[in-house]
A = this chain, B = another copy of it.
Amino acid sequence: MGTNHTKGPTVPITPLYRRIADQLREEITSGRLGPGSRLPTEEELQQQHGGVSRNTIRNALRELAAEGLIETATRRGTFVRQHRTLTYHAVSAERADRPSSEGRDAFYDEVHAQGRSPSQDFAMVIEPADAGVAARLRVAEGDLVVARSVVRYVDKRPWSDQISYYAMDIAEQAGLIVAQDIPDGTVRAMARAGHEEVGVVDEITSRMPTPEEARVLDITAAGVPVLLYWRTTYSTSRPLRVTRTMFPADRNCIVYELGELVAYHEGLRVTVDQDQAR
């Protein structure tokens, strides 16, 4: 009540909780608090900073969590996040002479090569095209399109959420309207029906996930964005496919390899973590 602790009559140009956050951040980025190490408890932090209120400490911690630097676990404490298993998701540039099969084989190969176990959930629905899909597929908004979705897992952990859209006529001709995975790949199925992919346009951006997206991709920590990756493929005459893939950004990296890369492949394939650890 009357406890006026006349402590800060000075003008704290930067707020208290932010100064505390700055101090902790420095501990982390400098390496004194390495990945996986535990921070002091909230109460300890209160005392270390001259008995500030718990809310102030929590504000500071929330700041760092939003930056993706730490994560908290009830009862266990607060920990420096480790951007561990930074398996990178390579997207090789598709070439006209080597069409991939919707990436499925590539995914399996990639994951198997790393000694981990891939799996996936598949679904097919027919639905009206929203604005984004309609514009890319060049159909009218609301036209029915075939949507084939795959959620991929590595060691039972969700890795990517992908959905591909096809115009009705092409889907019918290529036999894509089946509620199962197409072993051979939809790309080859379309090619057999006379629709060969000869060019692609990729759009890559990023944003924070919705709670639903975070749930699907098992993003538990705050401060982890998703990578949004749209691929539109074309035959010589029209768009064939629109694929929208969402990745948790802390576990993935999109890689393009273009041109002559003998010099690249000669050297050892270095998979440095992409500056995630700052």
Contacts and interface: CB of A to CB of B under 8 A. Distances in A.
Contact of A259 (B200, B273, B275): B200
Contacts of A202: 255-258
7 contacts: A66-B223, A200-B258, A201-B257, A202-B256, A210-B278, A234-B263, A238-B263
Given A207-B225, A254-B204, A260-B236, A131 B68 contact: no
| Copies of this chain assembled into the complex | 2
A262 interface: yes
A88 B203 contact: yes
A126 to B, nearest CB: 21
A229 to B, nearest CB: 9
Interface in A237-260: 237-239, 244, 249-250, 252-260
Interface string A223-239: 11111101010111111
B199 A252 contact: no
Interface string A7-22: 0000000000000001
Given A132-B272, A205-B249, A208-B68, A260 B228 contact: no
B203 A138 contact: no
A221 to B, nearest CB: 11
A272 B207 contact: no
Closest 8 pairs between A and B when the two form their complex, measured CB to CB: A199-B259, A225-B225, A206-B206, A206-B249, A199-B261, A202-B256, A234-B263, A198-B260
A178 interface: no
A227 B270 CA distance: 21
A33 interface: no
Contact of A274 (B203, B263, B275): B203
Interface string A149-170: 0000000000000000000000
B208 A67 contact: yes
Nearest to A231: B256
